Chain A
Amino acid sequence: MSERRHPRLAVWKFASCDGCQLSLLDCEDELLTLASVIEIANFPEASRAVAPGPYDLSLVEGSITTEHDAERIRMVRAQSRHLVTIGACATAGGIQTLKNFADVNAFIAAVYASPQYIATLSTSTPISAHVPVDYELQGCPVNKVQLIEVISAFLAGRKPSIAAHSVCVECKQHGTVCVMVQGMPCLGPVTHAGCGAICPSFRRGCYGCYGPMETPNTTALAREWQALGAAPRDISRAFRTFYAAAEPFRKESVVHADITHDDITNGDQDDPG
């Protein structure tokens, strides 16, 4: 009588803040149960015990910003039956894509006194720009309930049940009064659901940290923002934040951009010390 093999999970990190993989450790009630039905084979943030691949499911956090990481993600893909990206960095390049809009050498010089020691690509790119991806879970950070759903779905061999509508639907579901009708600019109408519409429940507009929903009408929303008195610069910055390189947001940010590369990178360099 042979015991059924547990599916093997790996968690990988690229350029990121660690927040999305931390979401797994934040499943305080589910973590030990999860560990009893899957083998956590490779999860360096949580364990010294790293078992070699192949893995049934790889969760990938972070974006590709170095040549070394571009190599490493191909190695991860080759060892993984399913590869799921978790979070804004892995699915869209993350906040570090702000350098894609600037001169990377000026950026390096602004932070480091000896730029020659720093190896970085001029862009931050999503995992899907480098290898095929089986599923992308949005969010900065991802929602841990959705994360458990995605893991369960892949291990059960079904499709994850993650809604693709906008944040607006979540506000309606929660009975949160629309903040835009109260005069606050909000990215909710064009932003992918999943966070639970937190910001409007805290009386502020959504800042788009779940990225563009499917087929967002960013032009119409920008027009509403203007009607509420938002300057083009504000509109551009709003779209150019956590999902700055996601195509619908990137395009809309460019339309309103009155900020130039110089604005971002000028000024004296910090004292090298």
Chain B
Amino acid sequence: MATRTILVDYLARVEGEGALDIEVHDGRVTSARLRIFEPPRFFEAFLRGRGYAETPDLVARICGICPIAYQMSAVHAIENAFGVTVSGQLRALRRLIYCGEWIESHALHIVMLHAPDFLGFPDGIRMASEQGDAVRNGLALKKTGNALMRLMGGREIHPVNVKTGGFYRVPSRAELEPIGESLERARALAVGLVRWVSSFPFPDYERDYEFVALRHPDEYPFNEGRLVSNRGIDIDIADYETEFEERQVAHSTALHALTRRRGAYLVGPLARYALNFDRLPASVQALARGAGLPPVCKNPFQSIIVRALEIVYACEEALKLIAAYEPPECAAVTVMPRAGTGFGCTEAPRGLLWHRYEFAPDGTIERARIVPPTSQNQPSIEADLAAVASMILDQPDDVIRARCEQAIRNYDPCISCSAHFLKLSVRRT
């Protein structure tokens, strides 16, 4: 029996450290494991004993790419525990800053991290030698997302303006208006991006995922909604633990989340899109059809198209929110801490991010539980790897390695969130 070993020192163009082991027996993939060995940072432990007001600033530090996702899930959970509702223009501003994060994160991932896989470049910078316009446009898009983050939050990474109950300071109309022009240009660039990425060569691969995402009565989801799946899950976010569980596995510092009844599931752009296509504006639906993308897409490599569509959506939504903006009288509603448990769940660019906090009467955190998107997707990533590798076992090691890395990057995994470098070894016996 032939034994073959493929090693990759680490997976590039993701956030975090990990490794990949693929075992092949008699020409069949028998196991594919994504090992995450990112050093644990113990957020859930040191949040204990901290005050609720500090929480948005603390949890932002879990991830430099999607700090708003962490801040939003946290403030919603805190408000849920204290019986506070944030509505009207404050709620609209929360959607607005989330638009900024979707634009910058998706643009970074598509152009600098993922597109190079499809076009055979090691990175976005080298890709610029042949795809100069695409890279420059991608960077311009990212810059607009970051400008929106800066305007609303003070800075792109770890914004300072998100507060329980609303914001520390809300913008004036005059402050918001100038970014409208950039967002109009960004929307046009994003439409071009949808066309560019939909022309990429996609591996002929589909899997029948259980998609899980938030679903809101009338919005494409950011901050609120019920937890739904295409296999019948339709629950309040507070009931997450009744349907889902996290398991620790020996090969990873990231916990694996699974549905209790069926196992692996998928969160992120493909799931949001499949479960909420009807919530997209007609313009974005038409763009999707024009790109040849069905309302339910099961090819994970095409997640890059969905991300581009979501940038168009985020630009349109941001423009709409800015046009309708009237500065609220108060930057935040009053928050009175009390003992209790609160739940928050929002759509990070890479998928569902669920938080639960238990508070003492003075608003001090007694227990915290944070389930990041990459933990949830990890079992699904491993299933994709086994399937994707199986299809090309006759190919040279370099080809298998590149395809597996690309399959992992379909998920835009934030390994720092879930617990960085990826080692790939394929053992064939």
**Interface residues, chain A, CB within 8 Å of chain B?**
13-20, 22-23, 25-26, 28-29, 31-32, 35, 40, 43-50, 65-66, 69, 94-96, 98-99, 102, 106-108, 110-114, 117-118, 120, 140-141, 195, 198-199, 201-204, 207, 209, 234, 237, 241-242, 259, 263-268, 270, 272-273
The interface residues of chain B lying within 8 Å CB-to-CB of A113 are: 248
Q: Could you list 5 further interchain pairs (A-B, Cβ under 8 angstroms) beyond the known A46-B124, A47-B13, A118-B40?
A: A17-B416, A18-B15, A19-B157, A99-B42, A141-B157
Instruction: Kindly identify which residue among A47, A198, A202 contacts B126, using a CB–CB cutoff of 8 Å.
Output: A47
The interface residues of chain B lying within 8 Å CB-to-CB of A204 are: 160, 163, 168-169
* A44 x B45 contact (CB < 8 A): no
CA distance A199 to B167 in the complex (A): 12
Q: Does B64 touch A at the CB level, under 8 Å? A: yes
CA distance A120 to B42 in the complex (A): 11
Residues A96 and B405 in contact in the complex (CB < 8 Å), given A28-B142, A28-B146, A32-B128: no
Query: In the complex, what's the smallest C-beta–C-beta distance from A234 to chain B, in angstroms?
Result: 8
Interface hit among B55-63, B74-82, B177-185, B312-320:
B55-63
Residue of B nearest to A46 (CB): B123
The interface residues of chain A lying within 8 Å CB-to-CB of B95 are: none
The interface residues of chain A lying within 8 Å CB-to-CB of B49 are: 259, 263-264
The residue in A43, A94, A202 that gathers the most chain B C-beta atoms within 10 A of its C-beta is: A202
Residues A203 and B168 in contact in the complex (CB < 8 Å), given A18-B420, A46-B125, A259-B49: yes
The interface residues of chain B lying within 8 Å CB-to-CB of A234 are: 51
Q: Does B366 touch A at the CB level, under 8 Å? A: yes
Residue of A nearest to B150 (CB): A198
**Interface residues, chain B, CB within 8 Å of chain A?**
9-17, 38-42, 44-46, 48-51, 54, 57-58, 61-65, 67, 108, 112-113, 116, 122-126, 128, 135-136, 139-140, 142-143, 146, 154-158, 160-161, 163, 167-169, 245-248, 250, 253, 255, 331, 366-367, 369, 405, 414, 416, 420-421
In the complex, number of A-B residue pairs with CB atoms less than 8 Å apart: 200
* A47 x B125 contact (CB < 8 A): yes
CA distance A270 to B371 in the complex (A): 13
Query: In the complex, what's the smallest C-beta–C-beta distance from A99 to chain B, in angstroms?
Result: 5
Residues A47 and B45 in contact in the complex (CB < 8 Å), given A17-B63, A198-B160, A202-B161: no
Query: In the complex, what's the smallest C-beta–C-beta distance from A96 to chain B, in angstroms?
Result: 5
CA distance A46 to B12 in the complex (A): 7
Instruction: Kindly identify which residue among A20, A49, A265, A267 contacts B122, using a CB–CB cutoff of 8 Å.
Output: A49
* B12 x A47 contact (CB < 8 A): yes
* B48 x A264 contact (CB < 8 A): yes
* A13 x B48 contact (CB < 8 A): no
* A112 x B13 contact (CB < 8 A): no
* B39 x A69 contact (CB < 8 A): yes
The interface residues of chain B lying within 8 Å CB-to-CB of A18 are: 15-16, 63-65, 414, 416, 420
* A267 x B367 contact (CB < 8 A): yes
* A16 x B416 contact (CB < 8 A): yes
* A45 x B15 contact (CB < 8 A): yes
* A202 x B13 contact (CB < 8 A): no
CA distance A215 to B155 in the complex (A): 27
The interface residues of chain A lying within 8 Å CB-to-CB of B14 are: 45
* A270 x B16 contact (CB < 8 A): no
Query: In the complex, what's the smallest C-beta–C-beta distance from A183 to chain B, in angstroms?
Result: 15
The residue in A15, A45, A204, A263 that gathers the most chain B C-beta atoms within 10 A of its C-beta is: A45
Query: In the complex, what's the smallest C-beta–C-beta distance from B322 to chain A, in angstroms?
Result: 19
Query: In the complex, what's the smallest C-beta–C-beta distance from A21 to chain B, in angstroms?
Result: 8
Residues A270 and B39 in contact in the complex (CB < 8 Å), given A198-B160, A202-B169: no
Instruction: Kindly identify which residue among A20, A25, A107 contacts B45, using a CB–CB cutoff of 8 Å.
Output: A107
* B45 x A35 contact (CB < 8 A): no
The interface residues of chain A lying within 8 Å CB-to-CB of B58 are: 95, 241
A/B interface sample: 28 pairs, CB < 8 A: A17-B64, A17-B416, A18-B15, A18-B416, A19-B67, A25-B112, A26-B146, A28-B142, A32-B136, A46-B123, A47-B13, A48-B123, A69-B39, A95-B58, A96-B41, A96-B42, A99-B46, A108-B42, A110-B44, A111-B40, A117-B248, A195-B155, A237-B51, A241-B57, A259-B49, A263-B48, A265-B48, A273-B245
Residue of B nearest to A260 (CB): B49
Instruction: Kindly identify which residue among A29, A40, A263, A268 contacts B125, using a CB–CB cutoff of 8 Å.
Output: A40
The interface residues of chain B lying within 8 Å CB-to-CB of A96 are: 39, 41-42
* B64 x A107 contact (CB < 8 A): no
CA distance A265 to B47 in the complex (A): 9
Residue of A nearest to B244 (CB): A273
The residue in B57, B135, B142 that gathers the most chain A C-beta atoms within 10 A of its C-beta is: B57
* B248 x A141 contact (CB < 8 A): no
The residue in B48, B58, B113 that gathers the most chain A C-beta atoms within 10 A of its C-beta is: B48
Instruction: Kindly identify which residue among A28, A50, A202, A270 contacts B160, using a CB–CB cutoff of 8 Å.
Output: A202
The residue in A66, A111, A265, A268 that gathers the most chain B C-beta atoms within 10 A of its C-beta is: A111
Residue of A nearest to B356 (CB): A270
The interface residues of chain B lying within 8 Å CB-to-CB of A14 are: 39
* B143 x A29 contact (CB < 8 A): yes
CA distance A141 to B157 in the complex (A): 7
Query: In the complex, what's the smallest C-beta–C-beta distance from B379 to chain A, in angstroms?
Result: 14
